[in-house]
Structure formats: C-alpha cells, structure tokens
Structure 1
Amino acid sequence: MSDWQPSAALTALQARAALLKVVRGFFNQRGVMEVDTPLLASAPVTDPAIEAYSLQQAELYLQTSPEYAMKRLLAAGSGPIYQICKAFRQGESGRRHNPEFTMLEWYRPGFALVDLMAEVGELLCLVLGDRPVRSYGFADLFAREFGLDLFSADSSELCQLAEKRHGIPASSLDRDEAINLLFSHDIEPALGRGEYSLVRDFPASQAALARLGRDPQGREVALRFEAFVDGVELANGYDELLDADEQRARFSADLEQRRQRGQVTPPADENLLAALAHGLPECAGVALGLDRLLMLQLGTSSMSEVLAFPIDRA
C-alpha cells in the first residue's frame, strides 16, 4: 500500500458513516440536541494521567474531551446535549489508541447514574447487537479476583500484589497506580464477554469530575462507571460534580501531583469553575470512544483498520 492511501478499507469508512447516522438517530429520537464546541481550549484537563497538546504560539490547548465546554452549555440552560468530535491526547498510541480520536459525549440533566447506565446499554445493543447488560461494583470484582477487601487493604498490600502479579516494583507504585494495574491487567480482559459489563462505584480517590456517594454497603465511593465490551474499555460516565469549590480543590490537588511528578502544570479552567458557581443542573454524563465502538462492530484488531489516516501515516 502506498503511503498516501488510507489505512482503512472503503467498507470500514462506509461503516463509520452508517454508525454516525445510527448514533445521531438514537439521540434525535430521545430529544437530545447535538452541539458543536471548539477543539481549542484556554485550559486543558488537570488529570495527571492525561496530557494535552499545547499550541504555544496561541497559548491554547487541543481538547482532550469536550466536557468543560459542554458543561458551560448545560449551566446556560441547554438541556440534554450530545457531541461527536475529535479529541487529542499525548501518548495515546497502540492497537486501541491514536493521538487523535473520535469521541461521543452526552449529558442528561435529571438522570441518575443508573439511568445513564441503562441508556449506554441501549446504545450498545442497538449498535453491536443484543446482549445482557450487567453491572458490577468495582470492589466486588477485586474481591472475586483477588480475595481481598479493597476498602480495608492497605497500600503496601496492594502494591506488593501488583509486584507479584506483574513484576513492577512495589516501591515505584502508589495505591491508585497499583489498583489501576491490577484492574487493567487481571480484571478488565474478562469483562464484557457475552454481555455488556458496566463497572460502578470506583474508589473515592478516582472520582475525577464525579460526585462522591455511598455504595450499598455504605462505603464512600466515586459515583462513576465504565463500560466494557469484549475486554475493551469503551465508555466512562459520571454523576457529575456540581460544587465549584470542590472542583477547584480537585484541580489544585491534580496540579500539585503534577508538580511533584515533574509534569507540565497547565492553568485550571476558570470558565468551567464560573459555570459551576452559576449552577450546573443535576445530571449524568458519559464519554464513549467511537473508533473503538466501530472496531468492535467490525471485529477488527487495530484502530488503524477503522481510521482513514492514523497519526503515524497522516
């Protein structure tokens, strides 16, 4: 194949067009408005696990998600909204990753997290075919796989387990890094096999932009979920944080962690904070990777098979 030619077959490009039509029809039937927000932002996410691309000349950043801008629309009274757009993240390369990718993100004022989980299940059944939709508590999966109580296990126990399982020195890991390593390598590959698996009630330390709450046992957890299909993480949803002061505190904590790690420390998004202070409606929101969804629909093994021009061939 010559370098100028697309990496995806024409049939895959046709399938992408058909998928976009199906997704838009899904939301149109539910009265969810499509919106279009800028790809360039004055401030990126502060999450230490995500690195944005900066445009130094313009002092702007390529968005890693349309979340901040869409929340400003929600605070302005938009009602339920969705967006299909490009997002950009440094270090996102591999069979299931590309530095530029297509994201579907939507927000549902008045929805509890369980309502949004059901809607994600409905979309997956529409696109990928009917399967049972089952939800699991994050800690319950750890108990089943490792025979330990995630809430009572101390950091050293988790780090030592990660070292034993995967050879990463315990001394180089913190608690959340050990949890993420164990989850991604030992639990995630088995999720979504013959079903759509929705994992809820994440550790409170991994709340990101989600609210905190209590699980059925009364333990503090992050009110968020992730969706998995055939071992692939496909979507990440939140019961959205509404408190501007709490969000500012989380931004500060993220930036301090970035400083300690020697990472770039971008500005916090003051426009988002102002929107939260004005008043964000009670809502749940979710981001879903459309390229991965298309991969699953077509049964391909690499994202390059569903992208016209992956970054390494752009």
Structure 2
Amino acid sequence: MKKQNVDWQPSTSIKILQHRANIIRQIRQFFYARDVLEVDTPALSFASVTDLNLRAFSTQFNDPSSPHETTLYLQTSPEFAMKRLLCAGSGAIFQLSKAFRNEEAGRWHNPEFTMLEWYRPGFDHFMLMDEMDALVGPILGTAEAQRLTYQHAFLQVLDCDPIESDLVDLQKVCSDLGYADLAEKEQDKDVLLNLLFSQHVEPAISQNQPCFVYDFPASQAALAKLNPNNPKVAQRFELYYRGVELANGFHELSDPQEQRQRFLLDNRKRQQQGLPEMTLDERFLAALDSGLPACSGVALGVDRLIMLALGCERISQVLAFSYSKA
C-alpha cells in the first residue's frame, strides 16, 4: 500500500515561534508589573454576540443529564464573561485567550486566533489609550501613537464629514469613488461609512506610526457609552498601524436597559438581512443589572501585533498551524 504524502509541518518556523513566545511573555510581564489579574474564562457559552458583523461557531453538547442536545457557542471574544467578573468585584483584569470567528481566512484572518483583552476600573478610554501606547510601542518599536477623531480622519482623507453628512451626501461620495451600484441601493448610512473607512481611511492613516481613531458615530457604539457632551458620537476607539486594525476599545456601557435595547436592535437588523437572530446573553445582562464598575476595556489581536512587530506578510507566518494545517 502506497504511503500517503501528508504535509505535517508547521505553518511557520521555530525561530518565529520563539519570537512569538517572547512577545507574549512581554505582554504578561507588562500586566503583572501593574498588578492586573490574569483570568481564564470559558471558550464555550450558552449565548453569543448579536453584532451583525460577527459570525459565531456553534456546536451541540450531548449532556447525559438532559434528553435534548444543547447548543453552545465558541466565543468571538471573552468580553461578556470578563465583564461578569468585573461585576463580581475582580478589579483590573486581563486575558490572553483563543477567540473564534466564522469569517474569512486570509492574510490578516484565521478563524481561530489569539486575543488580548483587558479592563481597567476607574479608567476612561483616553487613559486606556495611554496604557495601550505603553504596551504596544515597545513591541512595535514605534513612537507615541497619533490620535484622530473618526470625523477628522474622514475629513483629512476624503474631505467628508461622517457625522453630519446624511445618506444622500454619503451616496454621492461613494458614487464618485466608484461604488455607484452599491451606493444607489444602500439605505443604511453605516454600511457606506464602513465601506469608505475600510477602503480609503484605514489605508491612509497610521502608515508611519500607530494611530488611535476615536469618537465613532453613535450608531456604531456597540458596547460603548455615548459621549455626554456630544451624543452623536460614542466613547469608542480603534488602534491602527500601517493600515491594519489592531484593537477595538470602549468606555464601557454600564446601563443594562440600554444594552438590552442595543442587542434587540441588532436582532431586528439581523432579521431584516436574513441572518439568524441570536439569543441574548441573560447572564451578562443580569451582571450589568447588579452593577458594572465604571471602566474601560479593549480587545487586541495578538497575531496581528506579532505580524507587524516581526514584519510578516501573512497571519499564517506567526501561527504554529494555520487553519488549513490544523
């Protein structure tokens, strides 16, 4: 019988894996030095996110104590579980964990990836940006990050105001840039903003130094508070370097009723787009109801950070085994 030729080799070199281990050690030491507690939350949960842009993997649990199979979800982020710990009095916490998203696989994406997430009670989002700078700068070998509001980034790159422009204004900008077919049919302003941001703003900023973009439109608040001085924008930020999104952070929303309404709105939009509605995470909402301390939190893609630090072109170059070799 002829032996089958199977490619069992890693996706990357042992040398790069050694560099990866050193960066992860550096991350842990950063938080240990600041007395931030490392936690470990479940990868499987009874509920997942309602976000329209995220697709969760699901599986069936054959519980011997139950006559029915139970659907469990691989977590797209440890966020809900970590916030439950905050509500239970954990104080400042961080986690390095695997996250799972049923999305594309390519240069910057792997369906299973490593996420760094941390929460700082008593911090607003600007204080968290300061701490991110202190962590990321030495790893990337870069100077202090630039800061731009979402509005200023659009004005700088496209001479377009994303906050004050209406749908018709954005349709014209998109049409002028070659997206007429999509723009004429699209009735959701955020879809057009996301298109312009990803295709034109992201590649133009942060080429020479990291850049924080903050004050996202209120309609893109996700789990962030709205700005009390300008309710048109949310206290949300993202970190970019060389046109690559590295992190997404919030001055965290603590109002359980407002959070529930945002989840329900997501599900209505899911229904309109023919996507499955997601069961709300009632344990997370109950935790918010008991009281989330004023805090800010952020999730950072560790594999992308390592790619940029080592000058790698594809995410598979920093993974022991990418999904195609798993």
What's the TM-score once normalised by structure 2's chain length? 0.92
Does 2:38 align with 1:34?
Answer: yes
| Structure 2 residue aligned with 1:242 | 254
Structure 1's 67 and 152: CA in aligned 2 closer, same or farther, altered over 3 A? same
> How far off its partner does 1:133 sit?
1.7
Quote the Cα distance in structure 2 between the aligned partners of 1:149 and 1:229.
23
Does 2:16 align with 1:8?
Answer: no
SS of alignment partner, residue 185 of structure 1: helix
Structure 1's 138 and 214: CA in aligned 2 closer, same or farther, altered over 3 A? farther
| CA deviation vs aligned residue, 1:65-115 (integer Å, no higher than 9, x gap) | 000000000000000000000000111311000110000000000001110
How many residues of Structure 1 are paired with residues of Structure 2 in the alignment?
Answer: 312
Does 2:175 align with 1:171?
Answer: no
Identity %: 49
Does 2:232 align with 1:232?
Answer: no
Quote the Cα distance in structure 1 between the aligned partners of 2:152 and 2:285.
34
The range that moved more, 164-173 or 100-109, is 164-173
2:200 alignment partner, one of 183, 186, 189: 186
Does 2:157 align with 1:145?
Answer: yes
| Structure 1 residue aligned with 2:110 | 98
Quote the Cα distance in structure 2 between the aligned partners of 1:56 and 1:259.
23
Q: How do 1:186-265 and structure 2 match up within 5 A?
A: 186-214=200-228, 218=230, 220-265=232-277
Quote the Cα distance in structure 2 between the aligned partners of 1:156 and 1:243.
33
SS of alignment partner, residue 71 of structure 1: helix
| Structure 1 residue aligned with 2:281 | 269
Quote the Cα distance in structure 1 between the aligned partners of 2:151 and 2:288.
30
Residues 218 and 231 of structure 2 are in contact (CA less than 8 Å); yes or no, is this contact kept in structure 1? no
SS of alignment partner, residue 56 of structure 1: strand
| CA deviation vs aligned residue, 1:2-46 (integer Å, no higher than 9, x gap) | 621111111111111111110000000011000000000110010
RMSD across aligned positions (CA): 1.4
Which amino acid counterpart does residue 197 of structure 1 have in structure 2?
C
What's the TM-score once normalised by structure 1's chain length? 0.96
SS of alignment partner, residue 61 of structure 1: strand
2:139 alignment partner, one of 127, 135, 143: 127
| Structure 2 residue aligned with 1:278 | 290
Does 2:92 align with 1:80?
Answer: yes
> How far off its partner does 1:219 sit?
5.5
1:54 alignment partner, one of 52, 58, 67: 58
SS of alignment partner, residue 177 of structure 2: helix
Quote the Cα distance in structure 1 between the aligned partners of 2:175 and 2:58.
35
> How far off its partner does 1:135 sit?
0.6
Which amino acid counterpart does residue 290 of structure 2 have in structure 1?
H
Quote the Cα distance in structure 2 between the aligned partners of 1:229 and 1:144.
17
SS of alignment partner, residue 208 of structure 1: coil
Structure 1: where are the runs of 5+ without partners? none
**Runs of 4+ with deviation above 4 angstroms:** none
Structure 2: where are the runs of 5+ without partners? 62-69
The range that moved more, 129-138 or 238-247, is 129-138
